Amino acid sequence: MSSGRSHNIAAKRIAGKYNTEYNEGEGPDINTPSVTIEVETPETVKDGIRQLQGFRKPVYIAGSNEQAVEAALAATDGTTIGVMDAQGNIVKKSTRKRK
C-alpha cells in the first residue's frame, strides 16, 4: 500500500472517530474545537510537527503506520505534541493546554 493511500485511510478513519471531516487541502488534516491532528507517514513526521506550531489546544501527530508512529514518538520527545496510531488511539498524550 502506498504511503499516500495509507495516509488517506488513516485520516478518514480518525476524522470519523472525532465526528468531523478530513481536510485534504491546506491546513491541518483534522481540526475540531478541542483537538488538531496531522496524519503523517514516516517521511513526513517533521512536516507535521511544523504544521502544528501555533495551535493553542492539544495537538497530535497520527502515524499512518507503525513506522510513522515510532518516528513521531522519537521526533516529539520533550515536546507538547501528542502521538496517535492509525486508528486514532492515543499513544502519547498531548500536554499542550488551551490558552
Q: How far apart are CA 27 and CA 31, in angstroms?
A: 9
Q: How far apart are CA 92 and CA 76, in angstroms?
A: 9
For 1-26, the pLDDT digits (tens) are 566 888 999 999 999 999 999 999 88
The model's pTM: 0.93
Secondary structure of residue 30 in the 3-state scheme: strand
Give the dihedral sign, CA 89/63/12/96: positive
Task: Give the pLDDT score at 2.
Answer: 63
